[in-house]
Amino acid sequence: MQKVRIPISVDPVKSAGKQLSYVGLVPGKSMTRLQELLVEPCADVDAELEFDQDEQNIKHMKGHATVSVTVACERCGDPMVVALESNFAYAPVTKRQTATDMPSDYEAIELDELGEIQLHRIIEDELILAMPVVVKHDERECRVDSNAMQWGKIDDAPSDKENPFAVLQELKRK
């Protein structure tokens, strides 16, 4: 089966009513915010989206996205490949479905002025959240030995500088 491009935006309420599902790709070049974190262009993202209605009649979208990206190791600066993967579930906020009434299984999402959600943006947000906070090689694979790193030395000698708050101490005594 050939993978097709995921639509940029859809009406999640109508899509859930029709129980639509999409299996396809999101172009990596359209993910400009994710691209800023990478050292090489982002590959196309594999994505699966499923719109449905649960037992409580809550219309929702569940999805899964994966991509391998090349980032710089924070320790040595060399490029390294990181696999990003995200599972997510959203429910649109409507007049009948308010954010406060939603179960915790779903993240509430606001509709735009056309009553749609931006699928590419949601997938990009999820992949950015899946990015490790500190990207670095395993210590055995990194060319910089973490034990040989120098972080600076704190001088234990007392400072001869005058305390800038000494004036306040004098005022307190008076």
User: pLDDT tens, 128-143?
Assistant: 999 999 888 877 777 7
What are the distances in angstroms from CA 36 to CA 32, 47, 117? 7, 21, 23
Residues contacting residue 164 through CB under 8 Å, at least 6 positions apart = none
For 138, the token pair is 């395993």
Per residue in 29-65, pLDDT (tens digit) is 999 999 999 999 989 999 999 999 988 888 999 999 9
SS3 string of 20-56? CEEEEEECHHHCHHHHCCCCCCCCCEEEEEEEEECCC
Q: Model confidence over 120-174: pLDDT tens digits?
A: 999 999 999 999 998 888 777 777 765 665 666 666 666 667 777 878 877 877 7
Instruction: Give Cβ neighbours of residue 135 (< 8 Å, ≥ 6 apart).
Output: 71, 72, 73, 74, 80, 82
H/E run at residue 110: none
d(CA 88, CA 102) in angstroms, rounded, equals 15
Residue-level pLDDT at 157? 64
Instruction: State if pTM tops 0.85.
Output: no
Average pLDDT over residues 12-16: 91
Q: Is pLDDT of 1 > 60?
A: no
